Amino acid sequence: MFYAFVSKAAQLIPAPIVRKCRLYKLAGLFLNKAEEELIFNEVFVRKLKRNEHKVLEYWKKYRYLDEIQLRCNITEDSKVLDVGCGISTVLPYVKGERFGIDPLADEFWNIYEYPKDISIGKGFGENIPFPDKYFDVVFCSNALDHVEAPENTVAEIHRVLKAEGHFVLTVELFEAKIKRDPAHPYAFTKNDVCSLLEGRFQIIFEAESPWIGLRGYLDGSRKAHNKELIMLSQKV
């Protein structure tokens, strides 16, 4: 009942207002993590249907997709995984044999039809359901601060990557640790991110963009208080 009410309200309130008034924090008092993630994505699907091209636009403009693809040399033969792929996955815009995992994949299939040539299934970053050294490239965009155990997730991404495979991470940055909401158990500083990668990955490209978020971008928002870190690293 409360879920249905919040879901309806979330459809109506523009993303900048949701963020400014910290409505996710408020909703988080009543919803669990999965419910919060699902509501976000139900809203997202509605907006996406009218603006699908804007996802690629966002990836190119704010997440440096062209630069990343060049450096990773993704080809039709590459195996590519997106961890915490959600609905706004980058996979339709890259070449190769493509896989996405998300704990809510089954629920997402009920509200969104992913492209047929991409395999999307249920899975957690902390326990990636693929063998060692399987992928050439692993994306994890706007998802590392959603997982329960980021260290295990980074270790798993390292495990499933081939030698010298590439890890594409995008994550919202904070100046200091803060308590967020059930969907976001973590608030990372840049140092936190570097510590998570240390010893496993060598950074080869990084950039910072205004943290708009895809839903915010579809809503027309272009300004942001925080930054999004875009980091491309290579397995060592």
Ligand X SMILES: C[S@@+](CC[C@H](N)C(=O)[O-])C[C@H]1O[C@@H](n2cnc3c(N)ncnc32)[C@H](O)[C@@H]1O
CA distance 226 to 175: 9
CA distance 68 to 102: 22
Chosen residue from 48, 81, 147, 171 binding ligand X by CB under 6 A: 147
Give the range of 12-20, 68-76, 143-151, 216-224 binding ligand X by CB under 6 A. 143-151
Phi, psi of 229 (to 5 degrees): -90, 130
Q: Which one, 106 or 148, has the nearer CB to ligand X?
A: 148
Using CB atoms, what's the residue nearest to ligand X?
A: 86
Q: If residue 213 lies in a helix (H) or strand (E), which one and from where to where?
A: none
Binding characters for ligand X, 64-83, by CB under 6 A (x = yes): -------------------x
User: Does position 104 bind ligand X by CB under 6 A?
Assistant: yes
Q: Which one, 83 or 164, has the nearer CB to ligand X?
A: 83
Chosen residue from 35, 37, 219, 228 binding ligand X by CB under 6 A: 37
Q: Which one, 9 or 149, has the nearer CB to ligand X?
A: 149
Q: Which one, 197 or 230, has the nearer CB to ligand X?
A: 230
Give the range of 111-119, 121-129, 193-201, 228-236 binding ligand X by CB under 6 A. 121-129
Q: Which one, 215 or 235, has the nearer CB to ligand X?
A: 215
The residue whose two tokens read 């839903």 is 215
Q: How far is the CB of 63 from ligand X (least distance, A)?
A: 8
User: Does position 143 bind ligand X by CB under 6 A?
Assistant: yes
Binding characters for ligand X, 178-217, by CB under 6 A (x = yes): ------------------------------------x---
Q: Which one, 144 or 197, has the nearer CB to ligand X?
A: 144
Amino acid at site 115: P
| Beta-strand runs (E) in the chain | 79-83, 97-102, 118-122, 135-141, 161-173, 201-210, 227-235
User: Does position 88 bind ligand X by CB under 6 A?
Assistant: yes
Best CA proximity match to 42, nearest among 79, 88, 76: 88
Report the side by side order of strands in the sheet with 79-83.
Answer: 118-122, 97-102, 79-83, 135-141, 161-173, 227-235, 201-210
User: Does position 124 bind ligand X by CB under 6 A?
Assistant: yes
DSSP label at residue 93: G
> Counting runs of H as helices and runs of E as strands, what totals does the chain give?
10, 7
What's the Rg (C-alpha) of the chain? 17
CA distance 47 to 20: 19
Residues that bind ligand X (CB under 6 A): 37, 83-86, 88-89, 102-104, 124-126, 141-143, 146-148, 214
